[in-house]
Structure 1
Amino acid sequence: MSENNKAILEAANTANAAGNYEGFLSFCTDDTKWTFVGDKTLKGKAAVRRWMATEYVVPPLNTVANLIAEGDFVTALGDITLKDEDGKAAHYSYYDVWCFRGGKMVELKAFVINKVKDETSSAG
C-alpha cells in the first residue's frame, strides 16, 4: 500500500506542476485537512482550492529530494518556488507528512521554511 500512496502523491504533484489544480484535488478526499504548522489549517477541498488560487498564481516549481512511505503515510522532503502575479519568486524548503485513506490524501501536516539568503560574509 505504501508504494501505491507514493505513486498517488507523485501523480498529484505532476498535475500540480502542470497547473492542473483540479487534477491535484482529485487525489484528495472531500474532507481533506491541511495544517501548515505555525500558520494555518485548511479544512475541506473547497478551502484548499481557494488557497491554491491565491498561492499558486503560477504553477509551483517543486523539487522533491526524498519520498518515504510507510503504511498510510508518505513523507516528502524538498524545495518549492512560488511566484506571485508580478513574477516575484519566493523559495521555501518543506517537510510534508501526508496521510492517506482509501487511496486518497486525507491529511497534510506541512512544515515550511522560507529560504532567505545569508547576506553576511565571514572574513577568513
Structure 2
Amino acid sequence: MDNRTIIQEVIAAFDANNIEGILQHLTDDVTWTMIGDRVISTKEGMRTFLVEGADIKMVSSTKDNIIIEGDRAAVNGEVVCKNTQNGDLYEMFYTDIYELKNGKVNKITSYIINKKK
C-alpha cells in the first residue's frame, strides 16, 4: 500500500470515528502530539485516548490540502465534532502532519484552533 492510500485511509477512519481503522495504520511506538495540549504515546495509549473520548464524534471535516512527500504528509481543513452526551458542537481549523515508518504512521503532529463564535 502506498503512503497516499495509507494517509487517506487514516483520514477516512478518523472521519468515520473508526478506532480500529485508525489503529491498524499505526506503529506500536506511535506518538501523537497535539500542540499546546497533550502528547499521546504508543498504539495502546492511542486506543485508550480514542475509547475514552468516544462520546466526541466527528460530524464533518474538510481536507483543503493534502500534501504527501516521501514518508511525510500534511492535511489541513476545518472540522466539526459533537459531544453526544451534552450536544455541544466544537468547530475548529486543523493541520495534521504525519510521518510514516515502514508503511505505518509513526508520528502525528496536530495544530488545532477553535473557531471564533
Q: 1:1-55 deviations in whole A, cap 9, x for unaligned? A: 9xx2122111122223223211111011111100011111000111111221233
TM-score by length of 2: 0.88
SS at match of 1:90: strand
Structure 2 residue 62 is the aligned partner of structure 1 residue 63: yes
1:5 and 1:16 map into 2 onto residues whose CA distance is 17
Q: Shift of residue 93 of structure 1?
A: 0.6
| 103 and 97 in structure 1: CA distance in 2 versus 1, 3 angstrom threshold | same
Greater radius of gyration (CA): 1
Contact 1:32 1:106 in 2 (8 A): yes
2:99 and 2:47 map into 1 onto residues whose CA distance is 19
| 1:17 partner amino acid | D
Q: Shift of residue 114 of structure 1?
A: 0.8
| 1:79 partner amino acid | E
Quote the residue 2:110 is aligned against. 110
2:96 and 2:51 map into 1 onto residues whose CA distance is 20
| 2:79 partner amino acid | I
Q: Any residues of structure 2 matched to 1:66-81 within 5 Å, and which? A: 66-81=65-80
Q: Shift of residue 87 of structure 1?
A: 2.0
Contact 1:36 1:112 in 2 (8 A): yes
SS at match of 1:87: coil
Correspondence for 2:14 among 16, 34, 37: 16
RMSD: 1.6
Contact 1:56 1:82 in 2 (8 A): no
Quote the residue 2:99 is aligned against. 99
In the alignment of these two chains, the number of paired residues is 115
Structure 2: gaps (5+ residues)? none
Structure 1: gaps (5+ residues)? 118-124
TM-score by length of 1: 0.84
Q: Any residues of structure 2 matched to 1:45-56 within 5 Å, and which? A: 45-56=43-54
- Provide the identity percentage: 30
1:51 and 1:69 map into 2 onto residues whose CA distance is 26
